[in-house]
Amino acid sequence: MNPIQPQLDHYWNQRAESYHADQTGEQREAIEHEIWVSYLSRVLPEPPGRALDVGTGTGYIAMLIDELGWDTVGIDTSPGMLECAPAVDGGPQFAQGDAVEDCGNFGTFDLVINRYLMWTLAEPLEAVRRWRDVLRPGGRIVIIDALHFPDGLETIEKNSSGEGTSAFSTFYNRDVVSHLPLALARSVDEYTAVFKEAGFGNVRVTPVPEIVDMWKKIGVPQGHDLVEPFIIVAS
């Protein structure tokens, strides 16, 4: 496990309940769920199949792809986040585990997926190689991420109060971010280069501008910039 992971786990443990509430708020959920179902239905392989959601958090993506017909396992290092993951009979299985070091402990998969994880990784190339190792023949990696600090750290530092969503930059400060190669990425090409170096010959990028439209409508969480997510599919 990378040396800053305990600090990040502390942040996500204490943020778990408010994060889950943000994710599942009625106004946001009504819009966002439809967007992700639409996009993921187009880029995922045809179910049924086994899926591993690495860095599942409170299980948002695991639950969503379970709805789409996938037999899903979600893993996360943060017990606080996992405690907020919904327990549904016949739904995703959740387990505590590191997205990189422990992903091989749960068998093989037709799909490895994550959302807003890669930018937080100290060794993204090693992560992608590990995920590739657990893919079955014909499997895919699908990641959702963004260029989270398009103007550097200055904007979120000015908005940080150390509490709630605005505590983000207190924990993801300059020292922490210096350990995260993709945190200050200026182009999606920095992400796709990781997949190509890991040996993937087919790497596709799909922007998701509707998420920006949603944030303009309901308001960006305090301490965050307005950024456009993208989906990368590697096979």
Lowest-pLDDT range, 42-56, 184-198, 208-222? Answer: 208-222
How large is the average pLDDT for residues 5-15?
Answer: 83
Task: Please determine, for residue 125, whether its predicted confidence score (pLDDT) is greater than 50.
Answer: yes
For residue 205, what is the enclosing H or E element?
A: strand 203-207
CATH of segment(s) 5-234: 3.40.50.150
What's the confidence (pLDDT) of residue 161?
A: 46
Q: How far is CA 231 from CA 26, 50, 116, in A?
A: 24, 20, 10
CB neighbours of 168 closer than 8 A, spacing ≥ 6? 156, 160, 223, 224
Structure confidence by residue, pLDDT tens digits, 72-120? 999 999 999 999 999 999 999 999 999 999 999 999 999 999 999 999 9
How large is the average pLDDT for residues 44-69?
Answer: 97
Sign of the torsion angle spanned by Cα atoms 63, 64, 67, 70: negative
Task: Please determine, for residue 217, whether its predicted confidence score (pLDDT) is greater than 50.
Answer: yes
What's the confidence (pLDDT) of residue 30?
A: 87
What's the confidence (pLDDT) of residue 94?
A: 98
Stated pTM of the model: 0.91
Domain boundaries, the chain: 5-234
